[in-house]
């Protein structure tokens, strides 16, 4: 996400003509887009994205279970 934000900032600065970015080659300005694409490709191919999604699901399940136990304890009192 950092690469994408950086790329968008550099692109806006280049198009607005803000120095020193306006003088940079387009390769330098657009390279963070390529880095973002490579990061997402690596993240997907390495299983990182799936692992993070599974951890989030497990946390939601644990939270639901904990909340259900609290509600059941309240009913039994």
pLDDT at 76: 66
pLDDT at 48: 86
Q: Are residues 56 and 36 in the same domain?
A: no
pLDDT at 75: 75
pLDDT at 77: 60
Q: Are residues 5 and 15 in the same domain?
A: yes
Q: Are residues 51 and 40 in the same domain?
A: no
The residues, any chain, with a CB within 8 Å of residue 32's CB and separated by 6 or more, are 3, 4, 6, 7, 10
Q: Are residues 1 and 28 in the same domain?
A: yes
- pLDDT tier, 74 (very low <50, low <70, confident <90, very high otherwise): confident
CA distance 43 to 35: 12
Q: Are residues 39 and 57 in the same domain?
A: no
For residues 10, 16, 17, 23, the Cα torsion angle rounded to the nearest 10 degrees is 20
Note the pLDDT tens digit of each residue in 36-68. Answer: 999 999 998 999 888 899 999 999 999 999 998
Q: Are residues 54 and 72 in the same domain?
A: yes
For residues 50, 56, 60, 65, the Cα torsion angle rounded to the nearest 10 degrees is 80
Give the chain's domain count: 2
């Amino acid at each position: 996400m950092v690469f994408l934000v950086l790329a968008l900032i550099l692109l806006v600065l280049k198009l607005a003509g803000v120095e020193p970015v306006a003088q940079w080659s387009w390769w330098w300005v657009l390279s963070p887009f390529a880095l973002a694409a490579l990061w997402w490709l690596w993240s997907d191919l390495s299983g990182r994205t799936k692992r993070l999604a599974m951890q989030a699901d497990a946390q939601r399940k644990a939270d639901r279970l904990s909340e259900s136990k609290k509600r059941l304890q309240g009913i039994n009192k």
